[in-house]
Each structure stands twice: as structure tokens, then as C-alpha cells.
Amino acid sequence: MRDRHARAAGLLLLLFAFAPALGTADCDRDPLLADIRTRLAALHAAVAGHATLTDPLDLADEGIANVASLLAAGAKPRQTKRRLRGVGRRLRAFRRHVQTAGRHGELSTAAADDVVAHADDASTVVLALLESIGSPPATCPTTSTTVTTTSTTSTATKTTQHTTSTLVGVPPPTLDFTKPPTFGEQTLAATLLADPVTVPVSEGTGNVDVSYLGGHCRGFATTAPDVRIQTSDRTSLLRLYFVGTAFDPTIVVNDPFGNFDCVDDSFGTSNPTIDFNDAAAGTYDVWIGSFTPGGSVGGTLFITEESGNHP
């Protein structure tokens, strides 16, 4: 079995070696804004239901929207930077509230630590955007890519076309299984005491176009996994399926051998199912996506060893 995390770390180092430094040109601004918005959406999902935690995030969302408007209007750098520093203050306030929630038992220690780490990452991107502001607007060279995806159910065939513009020299976002999962980790015993195991998922789908993986991979997902599954024993069947409350969800799984597997529709529904027969013990990272970049997806991930369980 390959060391997945060591392999991923090497790949990330290679990417950063050839990528331009953040904050060195105005061409970096659009992907930085998109990155901040994706991270804020993930933070919202992680603390959903905690009003004292979501309030500073709402203010950070408002601040980023204002920053984007100011940049588009060519406002004075001082005014834009002031707004962006306000976003940084909101993130620091959010971080303090999360730490307090962890101390008071409103969040588990592990969950609080993960959220704080994500908030620190978001603050780092805010700082990079802050450093990029001040030079004259530039026309950024781009390349356009049109992705056409087709999915088939028992009653119809659907074709979706999406065109993206990628900044030249800036690598597009990719899935990263070294990041902490947004909705936690599930450790499975040799025999599931409760079958199926269910994990609620509700978040923005991010802007990673998973078609870069090839094969049957399509749709958009967040950089970090949604759920991580740890199995200690080999099992004859490990089935993962997602039942969405809206839209058309997709699923991507990175297995213990480092392979990516993708599924769209299954069992005559628009919900995805993926089976691992004679499933190896190890780590399975799961992403839930949709056909809309930056959209939202909600529903339940089911983990089962019973072939009779499906959407």
C-alpha cells in the first residue's frame, strides 16, 4: 500500500515550486477571492447551528463581497485594504469564539482544533490578497476550457456544459486528501454495529472541477474531503451512497491505494452509489459534489456492508 500522504505532500511541493508566489500580481486576485469564499463556506458548514460562531462569519462574507465590489470598481487601495483588514478581524473573532466553544464543550476538542486550523488557513489567504492590492490593474492572460458532462437515468439523459477560464501560470484547484475532512472521520469496526452508518452533509460544493481526474469523474467539489472513513479490516463489500435533498449530487472517493473512483447516478435515481468489493482496510476519503461550481449540496452519506441498502 502506498503512503498517500507522503505522495500528496511531494506533489504539492512540486506544484508550489512552479506556481507564482501569492500576492505578486493582480492576476492572483480572482483565485484568491474564490479561495476565501470557498473556505468561508466550509467554515459555515462546520459550525452550522452555532449562532455565536456563524455571526462573525456572516460579517466576513459581507466584507469579502464589499472587497470584490471595490476591486471591480477600481477603488482606492487604501479603502479596499481597510475592508479586507475588517475581514481579517472577523476571522480572528471567529477563531476566539471557536476556542471558547471547545473549552465549554459546545464543540469537541478535535472539532474545535480542526475549525481553528481552517480559520488560520483562511486568514493566510486574506493576508495574501491584502498584499496583492496596490499595483495598477492588469489584464490577466487566461485559457478557456469547456467541459461537457453527460449523465443518464432510467428516464432521461442530461448533458451539462460548463466553460471555465484559467489564469495562465496559476494551477487550477485540486482535491487534497491531506486536509482534515469537513464533516469528520468515521472509524469502522470489523462488523458495523449500526448498518448503515449515516453522516449528514451540507455545504458549498467548491470550485474544484473533478473532471481533471479523468474517467467517469465529473462535477465540482471542495478541496478538502467531506468525510474520511477508516477501516481496520477487509470486508467483502463496502458501499457508499449519497441521498441528496436537492440538485444532482456526485461522489468521489480516494481509496487506500491512492486511486480516485467517481460515480454520478445509480439505481435509477440521481443519487450516486459506489461499491468496493473485497474492500481493503485503510483510509477512504469522500467528496460530495454537484454540477454547479460554488453551489450547495445537502443530504446524507450512507456507509453500509449490506448489498440491500442503496438509494
Beta-carbon contacts of residue 118 (< 8 Å; ≥ 6 apart): 39, 42, 43, 46, 180, 224
**Up-side HSE of residue 13: CA atoms within 13 Å toward CB?**
6
What pLDDT is attached to residue 177?
87
What pLDDT is attached to residue 85?
92
Domain 169-304 is found in CATH 3.40.50.720 = no
What are the C-alpha distances in Å from 300 to residues 10, 46, 78, 201? Answer: 33, 15, 45, 6
What pLDDT is attached to residue 185?
92
Instruction: Calculate the CA 138 to chain-centre distance.
Output: 29
Average pLDDT of the chain is 77
What pLDDT is attached to residue 154?
37
Segments in the chain below pLDDT 50: 1-26, 137-170
Grid cell locating 127: 493576508
pTM: 0.51
- Sequence spans of domains, the chain: 26-132, 169-304
Beta-carbon contacts of residue 138 (< 8 Å; ≥ 6 apart): 25, 26, 27
What pLDDT is attached to residue 300?
94
Peptide bond into 137 cis (omega under 30): no
> What sign results for the dihedral spanned by CA atoms 178, 179, 181, 186?
positive
Question: What is the C-alpha R_g of the chain?
Answer: 20
Dihedral Cα 172, 82, 52, 221, nearest 10 deg: -10
